[in-house]
Amino acid sequence: MKLGIIGLPQAGKTTIFNALTGGDVPVAMSGGRFEVHTAVVDVPDPRVDALSRLYNPKKTTYAKVTYTDIAGLEGSGSGNIAGPLLTELSQMDGFLHVVRCFENPSVPHALGEISPQRDIEVMEDEFLLNDLIQVERRLERLAEERQRGSRDKGEIAAEEALFQRLHSALEENRPLRTLELNPSERKQISGFGFLSLKPLLIVLNLSEGQTPPQVELPPQADSIALHGQLEMEIAQLPPEDATIFMAEYGITEPSLNRMIRRSYDLLQLLSFFTVGEDEVRAWTVRRGALAPEAAGVIHSDLQKGFIRAEVVPCDTLLELGSMAEARNKGVLRLEGKTYPVQDGDVLHVRFNI
């Protein structure tokens, strides 16, 4: 899972990045320069902690999330995002759009006054226009292919129909994430890295004590409000000092925990677990994934040779204390290839290669 932290200059992207990752990347202005900072962090999960206490394994491995702080977007309105910046943006699974809400006279806003609604719309328009330009170029190439006869006419017609749908949505200022696309269609356009297709979480970056402003979100986007500077300071403290600091300010948990949960919701993901004396491990898979796909996340051989999966909910396993007891109580289930994995499942895969 790779999420890009984006936003206009001086929005506080790097502050949010540091808050999420506990990093200390300098928050000086980038001046619109293309810069990228990346960090891989563990997904906090009390279920993993509890399973690790139960099994006392040699190794405990949490699920991972990658956050990438991407500077260089200026909201020019040209839609002409090119070069390494577009490449980096295209590789993200989703975006956290940091929107500046805080006032700071010493850090002027790139567009003048503070206006969260304007900033949301500027970034959305930039992505829509970028995608529209790409779609129009693809339609031109398809027309050329049809004239040359270099490919099956049926294939070209099917692709043209799909891209005409994309074009119609974008011309109506509808992001591509609002379209209902089947798996085949999504695979067909996956190589284009369309920016408005990616899930979007608006991060309202507040000053200490500031109330979140009322904003209208883009279609199928979600939002979360954070006191970025305060959260960054907490993330950079030793754990014992952070606990005291959070209690003083009435913060129940670090922003990292909340943001990761929202990130999972954003990308429609879930966690399942494997357990044993060697390792307790959390794995990430898309919601709705069937058991063989989850097995493939562990190892490709498990998916190829999948027979069945032994499944027990994590809470049930923790309550009973062992897989053997779960089997004795009749709650350890054998599931086949059509079983949709549930969040919190503990899996043991039976396979044969």
- Residue 186's nearest CA partner among 199, 173, 174 is 199
pLDDT of 329 reads: 94
- Cα–Cα distances in angstroms (integers) from residue 174 to residues 71, 77, 199, in the given order: 25, 16, 13
How far is 148 from 282, CA to CA, in rounded Å?
A: 51
The vertex-186 CA angle with 125 and 305, nearest 5°, equals 145
Average pLDDT of the residues in 344-349: 96
pLDDT in tens, 205-263: 999 889 999 999 999 999 999 889 988 988 888 888 988 988 887 888 877 788 888 88
| DSSP sequence for 44-78 | --HHHHHHHHHH--SEEE--EEEEEEEE-----S-
% of the chain with per-residue pLDDT over 90: 70
- Residue 314's nearest CA partner among 282, 339, 338, 292 is 282
The vertex-340 CA angle with 50 and 336, nearest 5°, equals 100
Residue 301 lies in a domain: yes
Which residue range is the domain that position 327 belongs to? Answer: 288-351
3: Cβ–Cβ under 8 A, 6 or more apart, which residues? Answer: 65, 66, 67, 68, 92, 93, 94, 95, 96, 263, 266, 267
The number of folded domains in the chain is 1
Q: Kindly report the length of the chain.
A: 353
Query: Rg for the chain (alpha carbons), in Å?
Result: 23
- Residue 27's nearest CA partner among 307, 244, 233 is 233
Provide the pairing of β-strand 222-226 with 200-205: parallel
In the block, tokens 């070069």 appear at: 83
Average pLDDT of the residues in 52-71: 94
Confidence of residue 32 (pLDDT cuts 50, 70, 90): low
Residue 332 lies in a domain: yes
Residue 346 lies in a domain: yes
| DSSP sequence for 264-281 | HHHHTEEEEEE--SSEEE
Residue 64 lies in a domain: no
The mean predicted confidence, pLDDT, of the chain is: 91
pLDDT in tens, 77-119: 666 787 889 999 999 999 999 999 999 888 888 888 999 999 9
pLDDT of 29 reads: 56
β-partners of residue 65 are 41
* CB of 173 closer than 8 Å to CB of 180: no
Residue 247 lies in a domain: no
Average pLDDT of the residues in 127-149: 93
**11 backbone dihedrals φ, ψ, rounded to 5°:** -85, -15
pLDDT of 34 reads: 81
Residue 345 lies in a domain: yes
How far is 303 from 299, CA to CA, in rounded Å?
A: 7
pLDDT of 312 reads: 97
How far is 108 from 252, CA to CA, in rounded Å?
A: 32
Residue 329 lies in a domain: yes
* CB of 264 closer than 8 Å to CB of 95: no
Which domain CATH number covers 292? 3.10.20.30
% of the chain with per-residue pLDDT over 70: 97
**119 backbone dihedrals φ, ψ, rounded to 5°:** -65, -40
Residue 75 lies in a domain: no
